[in-house]
């Protein structure tokens, strides 16, 4: 009626355009806004509404134009800048999105949603210190946000601030006591702080709240596996794999526990599955190499461990197991080469010193054997005596004697 009486009624034009946007007729809404004489403030809000409607439909290019039109009419619309940043991020223009968020924060320094969005962008470019600070500012603006507390805990964990991560996780659990994911993360922070019993209670609570929480099941498997209760660990991993059979972590963890209980063929199958799902999974390659080593399949162990070392050259486990494989196959020089690298990293690593001593004895390298034996005796006299007795039983080379 208002437009029939006055076709140039600015408020009516804006209201109708906004209503058309709400009901999804975006083209008609835009057409209304192209009419002259609309009041700019009202028109800016309507352009933003149209942008939000397009954004919900995933039409980010159109949404961007509409948010920019709103800001052209009213540069102080801080929420329009936040919405513009979202569409820019969705179209992989993160630097522009970050600029838009910083403009919004200049207009409204306590804009929690903008601080949180900025933190997410910083985290994506691995600026975890910047992300942590931004999330802390978001929390200062809105301390009731479970999601922000949780995100802050994750960023603090990235920075190895496990006490800070635990404090943030405490707040998330307090605000959302029925959230299984929060309990799972809370338990993880307690594990990091060497509080295993508190962690176990949290993992069990997470499982109770959601029996299909894969993270909680994996955490329980790791907890029991770390205590040597590998059968229980395998049970949790099998439950996790029923829910998510494409999880390389679950397959790898299951394979590790199967290895520890001596079920080697099943361990190989599980670890190979983990590797097929994630070919660069270092732990799976290490565990596969160790499994082949325990089966005395040296020809398979060495390539698996070489692959692990290509992925993680500083891995002590991979280096130790490949040393064992080379020594077991009589390739003492190669085994010792890896042991020397390992002992530069960890000079007091007992298994490495023991193996180096044994390899030198097997080669008949008396000076090197005596030096390694003295080192072993200094670290662990009992193991040195055991090696001395075993070497005697096998038969020492002529003129070769290890001192008491």
Structural domain 1-108, CATH architecture: Alpha Horseshoe (1.25)
Residue 6: the pLDDT is 43
- The answer as to CATH 1.25.40.10 being correct for domain 120-210 is yes
Q: Are 241 and 247 in contact (CB under 8 A)?
A: yes
Which residue did the predictor score with more confidence, 118 or 364? 118
Listed in sequence order, the DSSP H helices in 195-349 are 196-209, 214-226, 230-243, 248-260, 264-277, 282-294, 298-311, 316-328, 332-345
Residue 396: the pLDDT is 61
pLDDT tens digit sequence for 270-280: 999 999 999 99
Residue 7: the pLDDT is 44
Whole-number average pLDDT of the chain: 88
181 band by pLDDT with thresholds 50, 70 and 90: very high
* Cα–Cα dist 219/208, whole Å: 14
Q: Which of 124, 113, 116, 57 is nearest to 87 (CA)?
A: 57
Query: Residue 332: what are its φ and ψ, rounded to 5°?
Result: -65, -40
Residue 354: the pLDDT is 92
Q: What is the pLDDT averaged over residues 161-177?
A: 95
Q: Left if phi > 0, otherwise alpha if psi is -120 to 50, otherwise beta: which for 244?
A: beta
Q: Which two tokens stand for residue 269?
A: 């199958």
Cα→Cα distances 238→139, 189, 254, Å: 38, 24, 8
Cα→Cα distances 334→103, 220, 337, 345, Å: 60, 39, 5, 17
Number of Cβ within 10 Å of residue 372's Cβ equals 26
Q: Are 361 and 344 in contact (CB under 8 A)?
A: no
Where along the chain do its domains lie? 1-108, 120-210, 359-404
Query: Residue 31: what are its φ and ψ, rounded to 5°?
Result: -60, -40
Q: What is the pTM of this model?
A: 0.73
* Cα–Cα dist 323/375, whole Å: 18
Q: Left if phi > 0, otherwise alpha if psi is -120 to 50, otherwise beta: which for 75?
A: alpha
Kindly provide the b/e burial profile for residues 350-365, where b requires at least 16 CB atoms within 10 angstroms of the residue's own CB: ebbbbbbbbbbbbbeb
Question: Do the domains at 1-108 and 120-210 have one common CATH topology?
Answer: yes
Residue 47: the pLDDT is 87
pLDDT tens digit sequence for 326-371: 999 999 999 999 999 999 999 999 999 999 998 988 888 888 988 9
* Cα–Cα dist 220/230, whole Å: 11
Residue 390: the pLDDT is 82
* Cα–Cα dist 372/368, whole Å: 6
pLDDT tens digit sequence for 5-45: 444 444 444 454 454 455 554 454 455 445 544 444 478 88
């Amino acid at each position: 009626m208002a437009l029939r009486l006055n076709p140039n009624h600015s408020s009516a034009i804006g209201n109708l355009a906004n209503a058309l946007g709400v009901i999804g007729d975006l083209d008609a809404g835009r057409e209304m806004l192209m009419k002259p004489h609309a009041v700019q403030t009202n028109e800016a809000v309507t352009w933003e509404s149209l942008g939000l409607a397009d954004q919900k439909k995933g039409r980010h290019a159109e949404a961007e134009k509409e948010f920019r039109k709103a800001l052209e009419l009213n540069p102080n619309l801080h929420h329009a800048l936040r919405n513009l940043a979202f569409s820019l991020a969705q179209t992989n223009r993160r630097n522009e999105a970050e600029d838009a968020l910083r403009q919004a924060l200049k207009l409204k320094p306590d804009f929690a949603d903008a601080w949180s969005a900025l933190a997410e962008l910083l985290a994506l470019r691995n600026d975890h210190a910047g992300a942590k600070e931004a999330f802390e500012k978001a929390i200062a603006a809105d301390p009731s946000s479970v999601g922000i507390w949780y995100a802050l805990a994750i960023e603090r964990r990235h920075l190895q601030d496990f006490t800070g991560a635990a404090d943030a996780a405490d707040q998330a659990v307090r605000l959302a006591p029925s959230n299984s994911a929060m309990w799972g993360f809370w338990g993880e922070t307690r594990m990091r702080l060497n509080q295993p019993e508190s962690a176990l209670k949290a993992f069990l609570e997470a499982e109770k709240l959601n029996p299909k929480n894969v993270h909680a099941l994996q955490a329980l498997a790791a907890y029991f596996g770390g205590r040597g209760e590998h059968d229980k660990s395998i049970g949790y991993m099998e439950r996790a794999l029923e829910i998510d059979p494409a999880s390389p972590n679950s397959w790898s963890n299951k394979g590790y526990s199967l290895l520890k209980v001596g079920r080697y063929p099943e361990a190989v199958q599980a670890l190979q599955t983990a590797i097929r799902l994630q070919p660069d999974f270092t732990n799976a390659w290490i565990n596969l190499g160790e499994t082949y080593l325990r089966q005395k399949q040296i020809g398979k162990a060495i390539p698996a461990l070489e692959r692990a070392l290509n992925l993680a050259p500083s891995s002590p486990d991979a280096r130790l197991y490949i040393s064992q494989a080379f020594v077991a196959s009589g390739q003492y020089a190669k085994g010792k080469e890896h042991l020397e690298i390992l002992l530069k990293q960890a000079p007091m690593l007992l298994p490495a010193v023991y193996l180096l001593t044994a390899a030198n004895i097997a080669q008949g390298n008396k000076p090197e054997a005596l030096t390694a034996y003295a080192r072993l005796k200094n670290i662990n006299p009992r193991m040195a005596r055991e090696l001395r007795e075993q070497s005697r039983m096998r038969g020492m080379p002529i003129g070769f004697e290890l001192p008491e």
